[in-house]
Homo-oligomer: A and B are copies of this chain.
Amino acid sequence: MVGATEGPAGFQAVRETNLGIVLRTIRTSAPCSRAVVAASTGLTKATVSSLVAELIDRGLVCETGLVNQRRVGRPGMMLTINGSTLVAIGLEVNVDYLALATMDLLEREVLTRHVAFDARAAGPEECALRLRDLLLEATADPLLRDRPLLGVSVAVPALIDVASGTVSNAPNLGWRGFPLKRRLTDLLADTALAGAPVLVDNDANLGAVAEYRGGHLARTLDLVYLTGEVGIGAGVLMNGEPLRGASGFAGEIGHIPLLKDGPRCACGQRGCLEALAGLDSILRRAVPDLVPDGPVRGSVVESLVAETARRAEADDPTALDALTSAGEWLGRAAATLVNLLNPSAIILGGYFVPLSPWLLPPCREAMAAHSFAPDSGNCRIEPSTLGLSAAARGGAMALIDALDTGSLPLPPGSNAA
C-alpha cells in the first residue's frame, strides 16, 4: 500500500506499511542508496528519507559508509540491514529435547540452546511452561538482552492446525488437540515478551525451510527434508514452495504403509515407515541390551544413538543388521518420494545424520532399485549439515520470511535502546 489515506489512524497505518516495504527493499538490495529504494518502491525521495530515518532510529537499518561510485552526481550513503537489533526465535519440541535458535535479520545465528527434555512424560502443559522458561532465560542472555523480538516459532513433530496453532495429533508425544499457540501466548502475557507473535508449525516443514535457506543444498527448488527422530516426517518444497496439501497435513511419510502385517506403529497401524526405520525401531534392534521397556524417549535417546554408532563402527553384527534394515526401508520410502514427487534432493536430518554412514548405502541401493525414472530422476539423498537445530532455525527463518512478505508486522517496540 503505497500512498495516502485519510485521517491520522490511516496515515499511521500507511506509514507502518511503507516502513515494511522499505525494509524489505533494503533486505533484498543491500547495500543500496535511498535513491534506489525510491526508484524500486515508487515512493518519493523525501518520503524514503523520512522512512529510512525512522528505520535507522528503530535500529533496523544502518548506513554502511560505502558510497555508490558507479553513478554520476553526488554520491549517496549506502544502506544495509542492521543485524544487531531485531531477532527471531525458533523453538523445537521433540521426543527427547527442546531446541532454541535465534537469528538476526541478516539470518546469522545469535544464540542456540539444546536441552534434554522428555516431552512425552512431561505432557503438553508442562512443556509449554518449559518453553516459556527457555524463552525467558534466552532473552535474558547478554547476547539478546534489550534486543526487540520479531516473534516466536514452535516446531512440533505433529499434525498441526497452523491457523490456530493447535497440535492436532502428535502420537510420539502422546499429545492430542493441544492449543499450544494460545497457551504459550498466555504464559508470556505477564512477562517482558508479552504480545510477541507465536507461530506453531510442523517440524519437518520448518526443517525444509532451513535447508532451502541455509543448508548445503540451499536453493534446491524441489527438495524433501526428512526428520530422523522417533518419528519421521517429510517437509516438501516443490518449485521452492512448501507443499502443504488441502488441510496442511501433507508430508506424513512416517505413516506410509510399507510392510503388510509389519510391526506396530505409535499411530496404531502396522508396517508404517516409522515402525520400520524410526529411531525407536532402530535402537530396539541395534542395542537391544540397553533399550528400556516402553517407548524410547528423553535424554537416553542421544546416548543410545551414540552407542549404536560406536558398535556399528566396531562391526557389531546386531547393530549393522538393524541399520541395514532401516536403511533399506528408508530407501523404499525415498523411492516412493521419487516416484510420486520427482525431487532433486532428499535430505536426511536429525539422528539419521550420525547414523548415515550405515543407513545411506542400503538406502541408496533400495531407492535406485525402486525408482521408476532412470538414476532416480537425478535425485540425490544426503545427510543434513544443520544438526538437531534445523527445525528451530527454520522457524526463525520463517518468521523473517513473514516479515519480508508483510504477513508479520514490525514489532512496535523495536526502537534501539
Contact = CB atoms under 8 A, between A and B. Distances in A.
Given A243-B341, A336-B257, A370 B269 contact: yes
Interface string A347-385: 000000000000000000000011111100111000000
B341 A250 contact: yes
B336 A256 contact: yes
A59 interface: no
Contacts of A221: 246
A201 interface: no
Contacts of A379: 246
Nearest to A159: B373
A341 B244 CA distance: 7
B257 A260 contact: no
Given A221-B246, A222-B245, A243-B238, A340 B256 contact: yes
Interface string A379-409: 1000000000000000000000000000000
Interface in A118-156: none
A278 to B, nearest CB: 13
Interface in A219-266: 221-222, 234, 236, 238, 243-260
A168 B269 CA distance: 38
B252 A340 contact: yes
A271 to B, nearest CB: 9
Contacts of A249: 342, 372-373, 377
Nearest to A236: B340
A244 B342 contact: yes
A238 B245 contact: yes
A370 B339 contact: no
Interface string A157-187: 0010000000011000000000000000000
A246 B336 contact: no
B247 A339 contact: no
A149 B246 CA distance: 37
A207 interface: no
A332 B261 CA distance: 12
Contacts of A247: 342, 373, 377-378
Contacts of A26: none
The size bracket of the interface on A is: 35 or more
A343 interface: yes
A93 to B, nearest CB: 18
A330 to B, nearest CB: 12
Contacts of A51: none
Contacts of A374: 168-169
Contacts of A244: 342
A318 B56 CA distance: 78
Contacts of A222: 245-246
A254 B378 CA distance: 19
Contacts of A343: 245-246
Which of A221, A255, A257, A267 gathers most chain B CB within 10 Å?
A: A257
Interface of A: 159, 168-169, 221-222, 234, 236, 238, 243-260, 267, 269, 272, 332, 335-337, 339-344, 369-374, 377-379
Given A234-B340, A238-B245, 20 more contacts: A222-B245, A236-B340, A243-B243, A245-B342, A246-B378, A247-B342, A248-B342, A249-B342, A249-B373, A250-B341, A250-B342, A251-B340, A252-B339, A255-B371, A256-B339, A257-B258, A257-B335, A259-B260, A269-B370, A336-B340
Cβ-closest 8 pairs across A and B: A245-B342, A255-B372, A250-B342, A252-B339, A249-B373, A222-B246, A249-B342, A246-B344
